[in-house]
Amino acid sequence: MKPWVNRPIEIRNLFNPAFCGLVLHRAITSFRDKDERGMPFSLSLLILPLSLQQGSREVLQAGNRSYFLKVIAEHPELLVGFASRSADVLPFTFEGLGLLMHVGALTVTTEGLLLPGDGRVTKTVNGSEEFKACQRVATYLGKQFALIGDRGTIYSTLGIRP
């Protein structure tokens, strides 16, 4: 990972650790609302590639009244390049999770499950429409992942291995 000042301005803006952390926090919180045990770490790695990529975000936002597995079945184009997109975004996911840990907005259980911490994260979804859409899709994903309840199902539906 390049030092912050050596990254292109577009990368610094889109993959800002605070922004990525907020998106991840929305998903972790909505997961916890449905399953109080917490989100498995491996599922947190899927949040940013699905919610930040415009095509995926738009499809998921349009289908947010439907089940995640149904949306994926109806839109197989979401799977094209998903594995490489996930790998490309992985360092930014780690940075976002690290920032959340640093400010106390994330805790990890002994089983490796992620829970929102006591650190203050705004509950209101504000900002530009694109910023709000990323947060709404992350909230949807957290809820849907908790309802599915099986990491293997989610990963195999997306055509990748944990």
Given this model, what pLDDT does residue 46 score?
Answer: 96
Given this model, what pLDDT does residue 156 score?
Answer: 92
The amino acid at residue 147 is: L
Model confidence at 14: pLDDT above 90: no
Q: What are phi and psi of 125, to 5 degrees?
A: -95, 110
d(CA 78, CA 29): 24
Model confidence at 152: pLDDT above 80: yes
3-state secondary structure at position 39? strand
DSSP 119: S
Tokens of 104: 């106390």
Given this model, what pLDDT does residue 93 score?
Answer: 95
How many percent of the chain have pLDDT more than 70?
98
Query: pLDDT-derived band of residue 1, with 50, 70 and 90 as boundaries?
Result: low
Q: What is the pLDDT of residues 63-116, one digit of tens each?
A: 778 899 999 999 999 999 999 999 999 999 999 999 999 999 999 999 999 999
Q: Which of 54, 55, 49 is nearest to 77 (CA)?
A: 55
How many percent of the chain have pLDDT more than 90?
69
- What are the structural domain ranges in the chain? 8-157
Given this model, what pLDDT does residue 64 score?
Answer: 75
Model confidence at 22: pLDDT above 80: yes
Interior CA angle at 155 toward 74 and 54, to 5°?
A: 55
Sign of the dihedral through C-alpha 65, 69, 74, 75 = positive
